[in-house]
Amino acid sequence: MAKNNKKIVPIAIVCALIAVAAVAAFLLTRPSKEKETISVYNWGDYIDTACLDLFEQETGIEVIYEVFETNEDMYAKIAEGGSSYDVIIPSDYMVERMIEEQLLQKINWDNIPNIVNIDPRFLHEDYDPEAAYSVPYTWGTMGILYNTKRVTTPPTSWQTLLDPAYANDMLMLNSPRDTLGIALVMCGHDLNSTDPADLEDAKNLLLEQKPMVLAYVVDEVKDKMIAGEASVALVWSGDATFCMDESDDLDYVVPEEGSNIFYDSICIPANARNVSGAEKFIDFLCRADIAAMNYEYVGYAIPNTAAIELMGADEYNASPVNNPPQEVLDKCHVFKYLGDDTKLYDQIWTEIISDF
């Protein structure tokens, strides 16, 4: 017995020393409490960045913010799977695609109380019929922004974009679905057509137009039109509002043949890391004061009734760009996700912009 006790005492001392060392090592190497973050992936120029600062001040959650230029760019990044975002803002047809491909997660509405501020007419759209995955953020039309000093007769038709009078003086959107959609309309076809013959017509029209195009652009369209670098441009309505606020020489028209109406919506990707942070951010964006702040900065029409009331409905509704007459809206159609036929659009688009 005495022999055994002699062994036990040193073992107990060694064990105690190891435990003390382990606790000390844990306390010394433990990382300090990390700051909570959310990762937001949004269109360029599509939020008042002061809102990001405000969100961080109010919640302590830091926003890591990245931008994209087209739905297709955003989709490619998410679908390839290497990155994780907590909040993204796709358009209608891309929401539809991402739901179908299980790239989005359902939203827990209990955590978005400010959803009551959103006009119910903007919920349950065809791209998210159960209003399960998306929160309407902005909406708008596509049309022609033109310089009234140089285009003295206001354009009424998309054929303006084929007028040699504007050769090297016109800007087109560097966005496959938008530009091909309008080319389909210019050829008298449905803007969601998947008929190869219709798409061949649209491609030929865009190839005919190409030598007259000064540049295919997205966000740069604003600076260029404000600076008077081109006379006409294919634009989204919110960018037209932004430009018209900056220059009295610009006006916007939705041509008589009809156009695209789009809805951009806030979504949470399936692989989001901080869902509760994402929900807080989405709820924050739906707050009346924040939606109003964004509207003033971004220029796109908003579905947030409380924000419109806060800003003054009469003033908001006075904008013919963001509040187009019903007869204009009746001729506007939403893009739908076209499944495998999307590949045909992508091929044609590559052909159009290559060697530009």
Residue 337 in tokens? 């996700």
Output 91 or 274, the one with its CB closest to ligand SPD. Answer: 91
The answer to whether 92 touches 263, Cβ cutoff 8 Å, is yes
CB of residue 111 to ligand SPD, shortest distance in Å: 26
CB of residue 125 to ligand SPD, shortest distance in Å: 13
Residue closest to ligand SPD (Cβ)? 43
Rounded Cα gap, residues 280 and 56, in angstroms: 11
Rounded Cα gap, residues 267 and 265, in angstroms: 6
The answer to whether 105 touches 272, Cβ cutoff 8 Å, is yes
Burial degree of 59 (CB within 10 A; 0-12, 13-18, 19+): middle
* Subset of residues 94 to 133 that bind ligand SPD, contact rule: CB under 6 A: none
Output 39 or 91, the one with its CB closest to ligand SPD. Answer: 91
Question: How many CA atoms lie within 13 Å of 203's alpha carbon, on the beta-carbon side?
Answer: 18
DSSP helix/strand/coil, 340? helix
Q: What is the CA radius of gyration of the chain?
A: 26
Among 262, 281, 295, 349, binds ligand SPD (CB under 6 A): 262
CB of residue 89 to ligand SPD, shortest distance in Å: 8
- Which H/E stretch holds residue 196? helix 196-209
CA 350 remoteness from chain centre: 22
Among 139, 236, 284, 349, binds ligand SPD (CB under 6 A): 236
Q: Is 45 among the residues that bind ligand SPD (CB under 6 A)?
A: yes
* Subset of residues 140 to 179 that bind ligand SPD, contact rule: CB under 6 A: 178
CB of residue 139 to ligand SPD, shortest distance in Å: 9
Among 16, 21, 44, 100, binds ligand SPD (CB under 6 A): 44
Contact window for ligand SPD (CB under 6 A) among 43-51, 116-124, 160-168, 342-350: 43-51
Q: Which residues bind ligand SPD (CB under 6 A)?
A: 43-46, 91, 178, 219, 236, 262, 264
